[in-house]
């Protein structure tokens, strides 16, 4: 699969862009475990052209994470064009446009998935951004606004006509937010449309190596994007790539191996921010990780872990888990 001239190999697996999740340290971690391409947190075009410091920091990319895409969102053509040029100067490999974020503060203001209610503006923005930069431009969107407006098959052709180099589709409508099951049938319909020639990347509910391979084999997509399934579990890319390459599931590692990965995430977060903010940032990963699921009577320990205020306190709790719950290290 290629996006522009970027060769991503056969059956590439991507880290989806996620706000407050896909910072540079997490992207590098997922890349280390086999993610073929990673995406930044989404960048507000309005904030970027106003030179908001926190937004500008999202543009920092490292050589070790390439190929990397910067994702922008907004609803004003001129602002999106200017933001696209600013992003290009940060030297990402790809510029991605977010037409899929469903949260109220974005979609409710007409940006992100809100664009699914204003297709002419969506297409105008896409055309102008494609013209404004010299790197490949891609789009990430959803099936449609709601169950009565699943327009993705026709919309995909229109976006392709705007000159985008690839299309990522989350298999839900905006109305669904993140509830219910992702519908990969429509993603497959887009891929199997004989008029489509750009790569199609599917996204939604990919939480295991088996599901990922099923998406490739049953829907025929060119790539698969993993989002929430990677939170607190960056090693999922290692598991997926092994299964895709060998047809065999990767054996589990010792419990301490996974704990060490989570500790590395904590330390990287603290180094990037500071102890207080770094621990607050990483709590989402600790809460979501499947490593602790199924451990009987783990609730109090989970609460203590999420309330820990220092690295020393947090690591002490994490180190005590095997002995406290009789887990083989």
Strand 37-44 relative to strand 166-170: parallel, antiparallel, unpaired?
A: unpaired
Contact 59, 40 (CB under 8 A): yes
Cβ 97 vs Cβ 122: under 8 Å? no
H helix runs in the chain, sequence order: 24-32, 45-49, 53-57, 77-89, 104-107, 119-132, 152-161, 184-191, 209-219, 236-246, 255-272, 275-288, 299-307, 311-325
Hey, which bits of the chain come out as E strands? 2-3, 6-7, 13-15, 37-44, 68-73, 94-99, 137-142, 166-170, 200-203, 223-226
Residue positions annotated with a catalytic role: 101
Give the three-state DSSP class for 201: strand
Phi, psi (5° rounding) for residue 4? Answer: 65, -125
Beta strands 94-99; 68-73: pairing state: parallel
Q: Do residues 199 and 3 touch, judged by C-beta distance below 8 A?
A: yes
**Neighbour tally for 4: CB within 10 Å:** 14
The answer to whether 83 and 137 have CB atoms below 8 angstroms apart is no
């Amino acid at each position: 699969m290629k996006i522009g001239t970027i060769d991503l190999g056969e059956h590439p697996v991507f880290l989806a862009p996620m706000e407050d999740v896909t910072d540079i340290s997490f992207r590098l971690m997922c890349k280390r475990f086999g993610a073929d391409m990673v995406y930044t947190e989404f960048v507000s075009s309005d904030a970027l052209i106003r030179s908001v410091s926190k937004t500008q920091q999202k543009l920092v990319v490292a050589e070790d994470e390439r190929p990397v895409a910067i994702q922008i969102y907004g609803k004003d053509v001129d602002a999106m064009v200017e933001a696209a040029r600013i992003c290009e100067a940060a030297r990402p490999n790809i510029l991605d446009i977010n037409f899929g974020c469903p949260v109220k503060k974005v979609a409710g203001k007409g940006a992100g998935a809100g664009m699914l209610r204003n297709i002419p503006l969506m297409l105008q923005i896409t055309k102008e951004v494609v013209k404004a930069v010299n790197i490949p431009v891609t789009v990430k969107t959803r099936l449609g606004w709601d169950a009565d407006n699943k327009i993705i098959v026709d919309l995909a052709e229109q976006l392709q006509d705007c000159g985008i180099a690839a299309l990522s589709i989350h298999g839900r409508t905006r109305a669904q937010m993140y509830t219910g099951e992702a519908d990969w049938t429509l993603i497959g319909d887009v891929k199997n449309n004989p008029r489509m020639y750009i790569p199609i990347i599917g996204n939604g509910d990919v939480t295991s190596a088996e599901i990922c391979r099923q998406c490739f084999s049953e829907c025929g997509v060119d790539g698969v994007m993993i989002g929430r399934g990677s939170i607190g579990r960056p090693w999922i890319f290692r598991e997926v790539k092994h299964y895709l390459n060998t047809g065999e599931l990767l054996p589990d590692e010792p419990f301490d191996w996974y704990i060490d990965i989570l500790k590395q995430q904590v330390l990287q977060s603290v180094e990037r921010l500071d102890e207080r903010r770094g621990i607050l940032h990483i709590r989402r990963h600790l809460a979501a990780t499947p490593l602790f699921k199924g451990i009987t009577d783990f609730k109090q320990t989970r609460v203590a872990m999420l309330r820990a205020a220092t690295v020393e306190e947090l690591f002490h709790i994490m180190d005590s888990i095997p002995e406290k719950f009789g887990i083989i290290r």
